[in-house]
Structure 1
Amino acid sequence: MKKALLSIASVIMVGGCSEIPNDMSHIDVFSSDRYLSTAYEFNNLVDDAFKYPYSNIPFLMVTEGWSISGPKQPISQIIYSCLSSNEVELVTKIKPFMPEVTYIKTPENQVKNCIIKHSNDSINAAALNDLKAFNLFQKYADNPFLRKIVDAAKADGKISVKEYMDIVQIVIKLSKADEQVQLEKTIQEL
């Protein structure tokens, strides 16, 4: 019996990879290395689902340095919802003498459906409080274009994760437009 177990273990080690499904109840996706190893893939799927590079929006500006994978980050909130609902499954491959690699096992179209579904969840209160205190949001709060978007977002009594991402995107675009105008003005004054 021992020889049989030993030979099976040898075959697994020599054979390469074995798949071990993760039990999400034991994984903190905000700090786990497993989340960090799959973050890039999730970001690409979020961007592809919405046809906009939301993963390039510097949400850290709003949260003033909160961890990149913290719960205030909207993309992290979507990912956490998809993983904790078991709609998206991660698989870890282990190779001898190599670091483990975690990847998304769920088909891409199902992951995108989950992303879209959970982007309609309410953004968490901490993220909204940070947005309200964000100096650029305060600066542009009365901008008619931004005001229209914010008023439409909160009309149903909640602000979804996707609406939050759109609001932050607009605030940053307004800031960049102001910077460009200021640059052109400075150049003319030279």
Structure 2
Amino acid sequence: MPSLSRRLLAPTLALLLGACASLTTTSISEQQINDYLASKAGFEKSLGIPGIMSAQIRLGDLKSHIGRSAPDKIDLDGMGDLTITTPAGRQAMSVRLSLRARPDYQPAQGAIYLQDLELRSITTEPVDVGAALTPLLPMISLSLSQFLEQTPVYRLNERHEKEALAKDHVSGLNVLPGRLEIPFSLL
């Protein structure tokens, strides 16, 4: 009899532990982050080199790609408008940026921010004016980095039961292809 109860106990415990593990994680998909970015985050900035060149950049249509091209990173693609003004005149163009950053959960805000931003690429339409951006690239990169460190890419939603439970009890942030997995402990 004791061996029968042990044989029943082991699968029961495994099932129970598996159920508890699923109750203590929540996932945020790329689509959830993209929806959040579309409704909450828009980047607009004026920057320049006084007397030489100034730029007005506006980015929207930010799309995330989680853990697909680099482990523990989120890639963001953004499109927008850029206007450069120099003593020679003004040029308006479309701009497309590719960024990569590390997601970071901030418990006090219940939100995910991006840290350690890398500006991976920038392309413009018309193409021939892209070289004019070279002096501005460090400023664009710094401005985007500051923006994404201060503007969440996702805030846990207290109307969703698991996200509300997780908010103050997050024990990490795992980057998996297509989603962020947020483990939390209720104890």
Task: Identify the structure with the greater helix proportion.
Answer: 1
TM-score (norm 2): 0.31
Task: Identify the structure with the greater strand proportion.
Answer: 2
